[in-house]
Amino acid sequence: MVGAVLRVPPEITRLRILNGSPRKMYAIGLSPELNNPTTFVDMWLIATGGGYIPEPLPMDSTLMSVGDRREYLVDFSQFNDGDTLYMSNLSVPSDAVYGSTAGSALMAFIVDDSIFPTDPITVVPAVLDPTYALAPGAVDYERTKKLEGSKGSGGVWTIDGTPMNLQVINDTVLVNTKERWNIINTTDVAHPFHIHKVQFQVVEYSGKAGFSEVDSTYTFPDLPDELLGYKDVQLIRAGATMSFEARFDSFPSPLLATEGYMYHCHILTHEDTSMMHQFVVVDSIDFFSSIKDLPGTEPLIAFPNPATNTISIKGEYSYKGNLRFYDLQGKLLRQHNEIWIGEAQIPVYDLPRGVVIVVFNSRDGHFVGKVSLH
């Protein structure tokens, strides 16, 4: 809403802020000055999209990327009845491809002595979540993703150069494991990386963070406010790398999953032009014991079995699809996209010896089987 006004009590007030814009980032602060503000009032960050941070963190301004949610305490008791504070609209980073235009304030807060909250907050708490720590356990698996594309590429943005394909599950995560994901922004613009299903914690970040124009490396728990807390979206500035850790502790897919959770750039026009992949979380026992041919598909066979150097998968018809190899713990070993079964000799000489799971998916046929490598 343009020109929004909120009347607030002369008390500490909790503000929940969401950047719901499809693609614009906002750098915000609170100031008594309407235009070109130079003085700011402390905002105490208390929570992110995934919960409380360890203790309130005061700041005068911050960057809200697309999809960001933050909660702040602001002490309006220091002002008089009728005083007005403005949410300033400050300059966004140089690599924010769809920055908002700095200048006019986003909204106003008017202190109003006639408002009496029934349960006022009288002090900013010293501690919010004393148990806050990195998600427990060692990292079971690590993945690295590259955000790719450029402003000159005609609006084609991808993850690892691979367009979004609903027929492809790009990652299979084993339930009740902890993973580290390294997201490398190789592009010349900032992307807010967003993942469904989990709340992650940034453990390392190298490059420009927030709206700073200075390259730095930050390591958990010494993080600037823009990187702190449990979250499901994190802006990664041009050229920066963000690593997060998360536990995938719930809701494994009941069957061989064909419906994935998404991870993608939160800029709507980027996710719509392919900067999105999907993953499933599986329980390995359920995953492999429930495997069967889907209705309406013909049986396929992998041969030779056992195999040493190559295998082929053969059926009555030729299909084009995606072939993946997993180990018995459900970890993806390798993926081949867009191959024709019945023709391709698929190399397996470099896979670990022993039994591997072969999964083939296409629009028309599915195949899951075990192949023994020796």
- Residue ranges that bind Cu ion, judged by CB under 5 A: 191, 265, 267, 270
The residue (of 25 and 282) whose beta carbon lies closer to Cu ion is 25
For the bound state, the minimum distance from the C-beta of residue 190 to Cu ion, rounded and expressed in Å, comes to 8
The residue (of 97 and 332) whose beta carbon lies closer to Cu ion is 97
Asked whether the bond before 125 is cis by omega within 30 degrees of 0, the reply is no
For the bound state, the minimum distance from the C-beta of residue 185 to Cu ion, rounded and expressed in Å, comes to 9
The residue (of 22 and 103) whose beta carbon lies closer to Cu ion is 22
The closest alpha carbon to 83, from 1, 13, 9, 3, belongs to 9
- The secondary structure element, H or E, covering residue 52 is strand 51-59
Neighbour tally for 220: CB within 10 Å: 17
For the stretch 97-122, what's the b/e string if a residue is b when 16 or more beta carbons lie within 10 angstroms of its beta carbon?
bbbbeeeebbeebebbeeeeeeeeee
The residue (of 265 and 358) whose beta carbon lies closer to Cu ion is 265
- Degrees (nearest 5) of the Cα angle 274, 344, 346? 85
For the bound state, the minimum distance from the C-beta of residue 87 to Cu ion, rounded and expressed in Å, comes to 25
For the bound state, the minimum distance from the C-beta of residue 191 to Cu ion, rounded and expressed in Å, comes to 3
For the bound state, the minimum distance from the C-beta of residue 91 to Cu ion, rounded and expressed in Å, comes to 20
The residue (of 192 and 321) whose beta carbon lies closer to Cu ion is 192
Distance, in Å, from the CA atom of 276 to the CA atom of 214, rounded to the nearest integer, reads: 28
Residues 318 and 342 sit within 8 Å (Cβ to Cβ) = yes
For the bound state, the minimum distance from the C-beta of residue 280 to Cu ion, rounded and expressed in Å, comes to 23
The residue (of 191 and 366) whose beta carbon lies closer to Cu ion is 191
- DSSP letters spanning 53-99: EEEEEEESEEEE-TT-EEEEEEEGGGS-TT-EEEEEEEPPPTT-TTB
The residue (of 195 and 267) whose beta carbon lies closer to Cu ion is 267
For the bound state, the minimum distance from the C-beta of residue 145 to Cu ion, rounded and expressed in Å, comes to 13
Amino acid of residue 214: V
> Which three-class secondary structure state does DSSP give residue 102?
coil
